Amino acid sequence: MSRATASDRPTLGIIAGGGGVPVIVARAAEAAGRPVVLFGIVGEADLDIEAFHHHWLRWGEIGRLFDLMARERVGEVVICGAVNRPDFSAIRVDLGAVLSLPKILSLMVGGDDTVLKNVVRFLEDRGYRVVGAHQVAPELVGGSGNLGRIKASDDAEADIVKGIEASLSLGRLDIGQAVVAISGRVIAVEGIEGTDELLQRVADLRKRGRLKAAHRSGVLVKAAKPQQDLRVDLPTIGPRTVEMAVAAGLAGIVVESGRVMIVDRPATVAAADAARLFLQVRSFSDGAS
C-alpha cells in the first residue's frame, strides 16, 4: 500500500517554501500518525524536505499541483515557509495554470495580506481545507513566560506594558506587527519593511546618538494583527531577530502567546541566553499579565 493510502485520514499536503518550518510541520503530522506529502517550490524550499514523501514543483505548475494533490488524496493543506513573489517573466505555466489564468492573475492583486487570503480562497474553492502550520505543530507557538535564563528588569516591565499597548493599536490600524519601546515610550513602529528593518532603524538611531537611553535597554514587542489570517501569515521571530535586537541595543523580546511563531526555538532561546537578552511569550489580551 502506498504512503498516500496508508491511513483512512486524508493526506496532509504541505506547500513548502524555504526554512525549517515545513519539516517541523511534516514531523508533527507523522508523529500524529497521519500521512503527509510535501510539495516543494523549486528555488524556495530546502532540500531537507526530501527526507519525506515529496514532489518538486516550479512556479506556474498549477495543473500539476492539483493533479498530484488528487492522486495523493490530499484533504488539508498547509502553506508554510519563506517565499518570494515570483518573477512572472520567468514562469512557464502548464495547462492547468492557463485554464485558471484569469483567476490566478486576480490573486496577485493587492498587498501581501490580500494575496494570501486570495490564495486560501483559491484552494478552498477546489475543496481543500487550509490549516495553519501551528495547528499541526502547536509547539511553534507554544509556551508562556520566560523561555530562557534571563529575566526582565522592573524598568523593562514598563517598556513591555507600553509595547503591548502600542502593538495592539498598530495591528488594529493594519500597519505592522512590532514596536520597540525604550524608557517607557514607543520609539519605533514596524511598517511594510518588516521586523528586521525596524530593528536596523533602531540600531542606526543609537549609532547617530538620537537615542539617549542606555545601551541594552528597551524591548521589541511583536503581535499578530487582529485581522491576520494566521493559517498562511503567522508572524515569526528566530535567531536572526535575536541577533538584530542585540545590535539595536535592546534588553529583550516579547511575543504574543499562540499568535507568533518562534522558528528554530532551541537556537533562538540559546542565542538569547548567550546574549543575555530576555525572551518572553505573553498573552496580550490582558495587557502585561
Q: Looking at this protein, which amino acid is placed at residue 187?
A: I
Q: What is the pTM of this model?
A: 0.81
Q: Tell me what pLDDT residue 3 has.
A: 44
- Angstrom distance (rounded) from CA 180 to CA 228: 21
- Angstrom distance (rounded) from CA 275 to CA 273: 5
Alpha helices in 173-209, H assignment, sequence order: 195-207
- Angstrom distance (rounded) from CA 258 to CA 132: 12
Low-confidence ranges of the chain (pLDDT < 50): 1-6, 88-91, 94-110, 286-289
For 259-278, what is each residue's pLDDT tens digit? 999 988 999 999 999 999 99
Return the closest-CA partner of residue 118 out of 237, 229, 222: 229
Q: Tell me what pLDDT residue 86 has.
A: 54
Q: Tell me what pLDDT residue 211 has.
A: 81
Q: Tell me what pLDDT residue 107 has.
A: 47
Q: Tell me what pLDDT residue 272 has.
A: 97
List, in sequence order, every beta strand (DSSP E) within 52-147: 54-57, 74-80, 129-131, 145-146
For 123-177, what is each residue's pLDDT tens digit? 898 899 999 999 999 999 978 899 999 999 988 999 999 999 999 998 888 888 9
CB atoms < 10 A from the CB of 173, how many? 9
| CA–centroid distance for 255 within its chain | 12
Return the closest-CA partner of residue 282 out of 185, 186, 134, 164: 164
- Confirm if 162 and 186 have CB atoms less than 8 A apart: yes
- Angstrom distance (rounded) from CA 230 to CA 225: 9
Q: In what order do the strands lie in the sheet with 11-16?
A: 54-57, 36-41, 11-16, 74-80, 129-131
Domains, in order of start, for the chain: 3-137 (3.40.50.20), 141-282 (3.40.140.80)
